[in-house]
């Protein structure tokens, strides 16, 4: 009898198992399905513009709704330049801060500082935008940019980056506000990555007679490197998609592509935000949707890269079993 | 004799044959924050012999060995009191640089910890690179000598550029020993060096220890009493009391400790009555 019961219960639970498995399997496909649906709809609406302008859509920088000439090059340029600028400014600061928190800060300081950084990441971007508009941009115009123009602007070649009138609402200010916004993201991920370096790596290096700096330089940073790159790329992805704050400080006026960082510019995200309500013609609307498709694809590619890199660190590089 | 930097350089120039470094532990206590982990250890570690620290889990034997090269204090909140002498000089004395102490007193850890982002070759010379100046021929010679001493050369000589993490567990541990030997320490501390390894790798490490005794003073922590009996010349038995503070019960020549211990508690532990 007991054998019968056992068989029965096993049978029914097995049925329950497969039912459960199938239902969660379908749930797992919901996000995948949503993503595909999103791309498909964007593609559908973007198609008229992509078909009409072809490669020119990506290579020209005229954006003229009246004569129906649409080229996204200036927006792609603005997006890439401001995001990279933000990344270049934020990454060294973030990794330095993360190293301090994970390796040097006394315990009582770690918690509050880490919490404050997480809080910074949670501030709505409109607040950064307002601050950028009323505080940062005027400061850039009156003080920082004239200073950069006088010092770095005099250097040949590099000086081209800091030439022209100092307006305050331009690529440089947008890059700076992005740096401030992605700093907490990169810092908190870097801190986790550095903390996840096994103690036996640190002690192994100390045991050979390394100073604390040498231990960080030769044991901690190499081990953490893939994860730190991943953190930087996640920051970059956030910068690429950031709309509100950038729109408020980038100038939104020029579709010129010039080397100067003092040029007022435009990013993909800010064009979309500013112009989608004005798109009165079908081809205009289609061109704007095409912009969002470009932005989505760039962000997707970068996110996938970041995930692969971070996964390599947390599993331990090169097959170490820990 | 001082452990300050110029003296260290002088020591390292000395020919290997004249080495023979002993240590003395005098009233050593160790703490994790406010909690005392080890109390009042006093014992001698004779030169060119293997001294084993044994005892049940939680008796503080790993803490003691980590105090012998000031590795204990790298754990947040951890500190030590008392004296540990290397050739008569207190490594906890004022003005002593712990970094220099760890150069002279090398350590092999419980879990093999090669640097995974470095090749086998770079793992071996990692400690020497810290001191800079190393030409290629010199480095090649040191890598080969250290790997030979660690009985690993024949197995890895064709894959010196492979990652240190690509080796088997036993090979990784011998690589860590080679890495420690490359900086030519005076004393080698081994914290359960074979506990994560299979029996054959364990045997290789034990054989290696016998060879290294010719040149180095060795202290080994082990939870395996047979291993202590097989490899060591002297054995120290530690035990934590009801207050969970580890103390030294007795220390003596290994064959005496395992045949006629003076303390009842040692006999109980060795005959397997507890632990």
CB contact (8 A) between residue B165 and residue A317 = yes
Packing angle between helix B169-182 and helix B136-149, nearest 10 degrees? 130
Domains of chain B with bracketed CATH: 5-270 (3.40.50.300)
SS (H, E, C) chain A: CHHHHHHHHHHHHHHHHHHHHHHHHHHHHHHHHHHHHHHHHHHHHHHHHHHHHCCHHHHCCCEECCCCEECCHHHHHHHHHHHHHHHHHHHHHHHHHHHHHHHHCCHHHHHHHHHHHHHHHCCCHHHHHHHHHHHHHHHHHHHHHHHHHHHHHHCCCHHHHHCCCCCCCCHHHHHHHHHHHHHHHHHHHHHHHHHCCCHHHHHHHHCCCCCHHHHHHHHHHHHHHHHHHHHHHHHHHHHHHCCHHHHHHCECCCCCCCCCCCCCECCHHHHHHHHHHHCCCHHHHHHHHHHHHHHHHHHHHHHHHHHHHHHHHHCCHHHCCC
Report the topology of domain A56-319: MetI-like fold (1.10.3720)
CB nearest B109 (choices: A200, A210, A222): A200
Q: Counting one residue from A and one from B, how many pairs have CB atoms under 8 Å apart?
A: 84
pLDDT at B18 over 70: no
pLDDT at residue B70 in the model: 95
Q: Which of B127, B164, B177 to mutate to test the interface with A (most CBs of A within 10 A)?
A: B127
- Which residue among B103, B114, B163 places its CB closest to the CB of A209? B103
Cβ burial, residue B187 (10 Å; 0-12/13-18/19+): buried
Quote the pLDDT of residue B109.
94
B98 vs B5 pLDDT, higher one: B98
Distance from the B71 Cα atom to the nearest Cα atom in chain A, whole angstroms: 7
pLDDT in tens, A14-26: 788 888 988 898 8
Q: What percent of chain A has pLDDT over 90?
A: 44
CB contact under 8 Å between A320 and B106, yes or no, is no
For the stretch B50-59, pLDDT in tens is: 999 999 988 9
> What pLDDT, on the 0 to 100 scale, is given for residue A168?
86
Are the C-beta atoms of residues B191 and B173 closer than 8 Å to each other? Answer: no
- Residue B71 touches chain A, beta carbons under 8 Å: yes
Inform me whether the pLDDT recorded for A294 exceeds 80: yes
Is pLDDT above 80 for B106? yes
DSSP state of B165: G
More confident position, B83 or A310: B83
Q: Characterize the bridge pairing of strands B187-191 and B246-253.
A: unpaired
Identify which of B109, B117, B129 has the shortest CB distance to residue A204: B109
Q: Cβ of B100 and A198 within 8 Å?
A: no
Span B121-133, average pLDDT = 87
For residue A31, is pLDDT > 70? yes
Name residues whose C-beta falls within 8 Å of residue B251's C-beta, 6 or more positions apart in sequence: B43, B44, B234, B235, B236, B237, B257
For residue B128, the chain A residue with the least C-alpha distance is A208
| Summary mean pLDDT of chain A | 86
Contacts of A151 (CB under 8 A, 6+ apart): none
| In the predicted structure, residue B62 carries a pLDDT above the cut 50 | yes
Arithmetic mean of pLDDT, A47-52: 93
| pLDDT value of position A313 | 60
Confidence of residue A321 (pLDDT cuts 50, 70, 90): very low
Taking only residues 155 to 184 of chain B, the set having a beta carbon closer than 8 angstroms to any beta carbon of chain A reads 163, 165-166, 169, 176, 179-180, 183
**CA–CA distance, A21 with B248 (Å, rounded to integer):** 57
Average pLDDT over residues A129-139: 94
pLDDT of residue B237: 95
Using an 8 Å CB-CB cutoff, list chain A residues near B117: 222-223, 225, 317-318
pLDDT score, position B12: 44
Condensed to tens digits (0 to 9), the pLDDT of residues B204-236 reads: 899 999 999 999 999 999 988 889 999 999 999
ipTM of the complex: 0.87
- Measure B274 CA to nearest chain A CA, in Å: 30
Report pLDDT digits (tens) over B25-37: 999 999 999 999 9
Q: Which residues of A144-168 are buried (b: 16+ CB within 10 A; e: fewer)?
A: bbeebbeeebeeeeebebbbbebbb
Tokens 């071996």 sit at which residue?
Answer: B124
Structure-token match 């002498």, residue found: B85
Half-sphere exposure of A238 (CA within 13 A, CB side): 22
Chain centre distance of CA B157: 26
Q: Are A204 and B74 inside 8 Å of each other by CB?
A: no
Backbone dihedral angles phi then psi of residue A247, each to the nearest 5 degrees:
-55, -35
Instruction: List, for residues A222-265, the tens digit of each pLDDT value.
Output: 999 888 988 998 898 889 888 889 999 998 877 778 888 888 88
Q: What is the pLDDT of residue B7?
A: 44
Looking at A10-24, B139-153, B178-192, which range is the least confident one? A10-24
d(C-alpha B266, C-alpha B247), whole Å: 12
Q: Note whether B96 contacts A: Cβ–Cβ < 8 A.
A: no
What are the residues whose beta carbons fall under 8 Å from the beta carbon of A201, sequence distance 6 or more?
Answer: A219, A220, A223, B113, B115
Closest residue of A to B175, CA-based?
A: A204
Is the separation of the CB atoms in B106 and A208 below 8 Å? Answer: yes
**Dihedral, CA of residue B55, residue B199, residue B191 and residue B74, to nearest 10:** -120
Q: Which of A107, A202, A222 lies nearest to residue B117, judging by beta carbons? A: A222
Statement: residue A176 has pLDDT above 90: yes
CB B49 within 8 A of CB B57: no
């Amino acid at each position: 009898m007991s054998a019968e019961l056992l068989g029965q219960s096993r049978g029914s639970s097995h049925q329950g198992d497969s039912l459960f498995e199938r239902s969660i399997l379908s749930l797992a496909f919901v996000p995948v399905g949503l993503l595909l649906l999103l791309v498909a709809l964007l593609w559908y609406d973007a198609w008229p513009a992509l078909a009409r302008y072809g490669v020119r859509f990506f290579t020209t920088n005229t954006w003229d709704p009246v004569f129906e000439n649409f080229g996204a090059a200036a927006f792609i340029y603005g997006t890439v330049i401001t995001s990279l600028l933000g990344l270049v400014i934020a990454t060294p600061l973030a990794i330095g801060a993360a190293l301090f928190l994970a390796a040097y800060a006394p315990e009582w300081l770690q918690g509050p500082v880490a919490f404050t950084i997480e809080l910074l990441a949670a501030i709505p971007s409109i607040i950064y935008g307002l601050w950028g508009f009323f505080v940062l941009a005027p400061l850039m115009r009156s003080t920082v940019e004239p200073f950069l123009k006088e010092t770095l602007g005099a250097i040949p070649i590099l000086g081209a980056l800091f030439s022209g009138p100092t307006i305050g609402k331009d690529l440089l200010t947008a890059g700076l506000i992005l740096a401030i916004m992605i700093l907490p993201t990169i810092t908190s991920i870097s801190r986790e990555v550095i903390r996840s370096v096994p103690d036996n790596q640190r002690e192994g290096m100390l045991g050979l007679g390394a100073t604390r700096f040498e231990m960080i330089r030769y044991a901690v940073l190499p081990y953490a490197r893939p994860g730190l790159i991943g953190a930087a790329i996640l920051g970059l992805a956030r910068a690429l998609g950031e709309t509100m704050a950038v729109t408020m400080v980038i100038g939104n006026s020029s579709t010129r592509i010039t080397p100067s960082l003092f040029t007022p510019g435009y990013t993909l995200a800010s064009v979309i935000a500013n112009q989608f309500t004005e798109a009165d013609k079908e081809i205009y609307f289609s061109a704007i949707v095409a912009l969002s498709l470009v932005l989505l694809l760039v962000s997707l590619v970068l996110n996938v890269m970041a995930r692969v890199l971070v996964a390599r660190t947390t599993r331990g590089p090169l097959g170490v079993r820990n | 004799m001082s452990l300050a930097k110029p003296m260290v350089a002088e020591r390292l120039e000395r020919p290997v044959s004249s080495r023979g470094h002993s240590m003395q532990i005098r009233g050593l206590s160790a703490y994790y924050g406010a909690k005392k982990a080890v109390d009042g250890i006093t014992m001698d570690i004779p030169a060119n012999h293997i001294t084993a620290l044994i005892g049940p889990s939680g008796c503080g034997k790993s803490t003691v060995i980590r105090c012998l090269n000031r590795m204990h204090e790298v754990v947040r909140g951890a500190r030590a009191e008392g004296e540990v002498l290397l050739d008569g000089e207190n490594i906890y004395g004022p003005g002593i640089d712990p970094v220099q102490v760890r150069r002279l007193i090398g350590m092999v850890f419980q879990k093999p910890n090669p640097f995974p982002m470095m090749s086998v070759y770079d793992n071996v010379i990692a400690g020497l690179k810290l001191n800079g100046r190393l030409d290629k021929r010199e480095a090649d010679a040191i890598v080969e000598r250290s790997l030979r001493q660690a009985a690993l050369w024949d197995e890895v000589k064709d894959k010196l550029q492979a990652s240190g993490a690509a080796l088997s567990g036993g090979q990784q541990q011998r690589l860590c020993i080679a890495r420690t030997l490359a900086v030519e320490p005076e004393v080698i501390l081994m914290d359960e060096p074979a506990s994560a390894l299979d029996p054959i790798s364990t045997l290789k490490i034990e054989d290696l220890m016998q060879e290294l005794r010719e040149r180095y003073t060795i202290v080994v922590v082990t939870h395996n009493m047979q291993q202590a009996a097989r490899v060591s010349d002297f054995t120290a038995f530690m035990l934590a009391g009801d207050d969970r503070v580890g103390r030294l019960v007795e220390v003596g020549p290994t064959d005496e400790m395992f045949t006629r211990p003076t303390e009842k508690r040692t006999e109980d532990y060795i005959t397997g009555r507890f632990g």
